[in-house]
Amino acid sequence: MKAPVVILLSFFVINSFTAFSFSDYPGFKPVANLETFKKEFAASSARLQTIESEFKQEKTLLALTETINSQGKIWFKRENKIRMDYTNPFAYSMIIRGDKMFIRDEQKESQVNVKSNKLFQQVNRIMMDCMQGAIPDSKDFSLRAFENNTSYLLEMTPVSKTLKEFFQTIVLIVEKKDSSPLSIQLNEPAGDKTLITLSNKTINAVLPDEVFSF
């Protein structure tokens, strides 16, 4: 498998969770009313138009004994544009624009039709939904929501057969003040783990479309 594809897939593989109770999330408690939360969250996340942020990725594969760390910068623009630039340990860029994915590493550029690969389709949709706060309304997941003073934690379990092939659980933590993501966690049935954490975010700044082109 080529390195760009490995990196893309590893971004979406995350912590292994089995049976949950709110005690598994120290510092969080269940939201009082899930339906009320969904309505309020939808209204808040609709105001989220762009994100510019640094990110750190921690990846642990069951076959390895060490954590692989990488970092870079990510941009999001509603409805369907995302760019990720890895800067460490090596340079690599990925742009998702609608149904097209553009990849550039130190040697070449390439283009992928997301519709041509079932996994890419699911990854594309989930990534967009996580960035723009659309997950709670998805019929593809069962949802449990938790909160503390500053954040919401959304625990999502796939219910569709297709998603179950690739993901066991998605855990998304977002800020209450603007519904922007703090971390995105996904669990692959095989148990490999990755954690993506966002920091130094700029919300709703003007992002020209040129950002999402090489």
Which amino acid, residue 68? I
In three-state form (DSSP H/G/I as H, E/B as E, the rest C), the secondary structure along the chain is CCHHHHHHHHHCCCCCCCCCCHHHCCCCEECCCHHHHHHHHHHHHCCCCEEEEEEEEEEECCCCCCCEEEEEEEEEECCCEEEEEEEECCCEEEEEECCEEEEECCCCEEEEEHHHCHHHHHHHHHHHHHHHCCHHHCCCEEEEEEECCCEEEEEEEECCHHHHHHCCEEEEEEECCCCCEEEEEEECCCCCEEEEEEEEEEECCCCCHHHHCC
Predicted confidence at residue 7, as pLDDT, reads 47
| Whether the Cβ atoms of residue 195 and residue 15 lie closer than 8 Å to each other | yes
> Can you give the CATH number for the domain in which 171 is found?
2.50.20.10
**Do strands 141-147 and 151-158 pair parallel, antiparallel, or not at all (unpaired)?**
antiparallel
Tokens 């855990």 identify what position?
171
CA distance 77 to 132: 9
- Whole-angstrom Cα distance, residue 108 to residue 124? 22
Q: What is the pTM of this model?
A: 0.84
The radius of gyration computed from the CA coordinates of the chain, to the nearest angstrom, equals 17
Distance CA 143, CA 134 (A): 12
Are 12 and 58 contacting, i.e. CB atoms less than 8 angstroms apart? no
pLDDT at 17: 35
Q: What is the predicted pLDDT for the residue at 5?
A: 45
Domain around 181: 3-212
Q: How many domains does the chain have?
A: 1
| Alpha carbon distances (Å) from 165 to 60, 99, 107, 161, 189 | 20, 21, 32, 7, 8
Which amino acid is it at 91?
A
pLDDT (tens digit, 0 to 9) for every residue of the chain, 214 residues total?
A: 544 444 454 444 333 333 344 457 999 999 999 999 999 998 999 999 999 999 999 887 878 777 889 999 999 999 899 999 999 999 999 999 988 999 998 888 999 888 888 777 877 888 888 888 777 677 888 999 999 999 999 999 999 888 888 888 888 999 999 999 999 988 888 887 778 999 999 999 999 999 999 8
pLDDT of residue 195: 85
Can you say whether the dihedral through the CA atoms of 11, 12, 18, 20 is positive or negative? positive
